[in-house]
Amino acid sequence: MQTLVIGADHAGFEMKEKVKTYLEAKGFSLMDKGTYSADSVDYPDFAHAVAREMENDKTKTGILLCGSANGVAITANKHAHIRAAVCWTEEIAKLARQHNNANIICIPARFVNEAGAEKMLDVFLTTDFEGGRHARRVEKIEC
């Protein structure tokens, strides 16, 4: 089973803990890069930690959570080989994998519920990149 790298700021902490339990029950191995409480923190610290881990081991998949998911996505996407996608529905999660070969799902914890997050994770973690015309486009992303 693949290793998942997970991180969140204070706004995503509670949901991070819930999805960790859900994913561990499904047999996934998780590397938790924090935060470890609901105390106010700076989201870039955790987005960078997840992205750095994935830069060092490209076989891993990432999960980031914050209030809107925008901050963690913007931060993670500064790293080479990272394609972090903000997802708020199952369809967006599926397209992020199929068309963009996203390797980090960013979940807006203030705008989705636990069941929605679990469904998005199921889709994201089981959907393959389609390649083809999408591969050409993905190859053009990095600067």
Annotated catalytic residue 99: yes
What is the 8-class DSSP label of residue 128? P
Distance from C-alpha of 133 to C-alpha of 24, rounded to nearest angstrom: 35
| Peptide bond connecting 35 to the previous residue in cis, omega within 30 degrees of 0 | yes
Annotated catalytic residue 66: yes
Distance from C-alpha of 32 to C-alpha of 116, rounded to nearest angstrom: 21
Q: Of 10, 48, 66, 106, which one is the catalytic site residue? A: 66
Q: Of 48, 81, 87, 99, which one is the catalytic site residue? A: 99
Residues annotated catalytic, as ranges: 66, 99
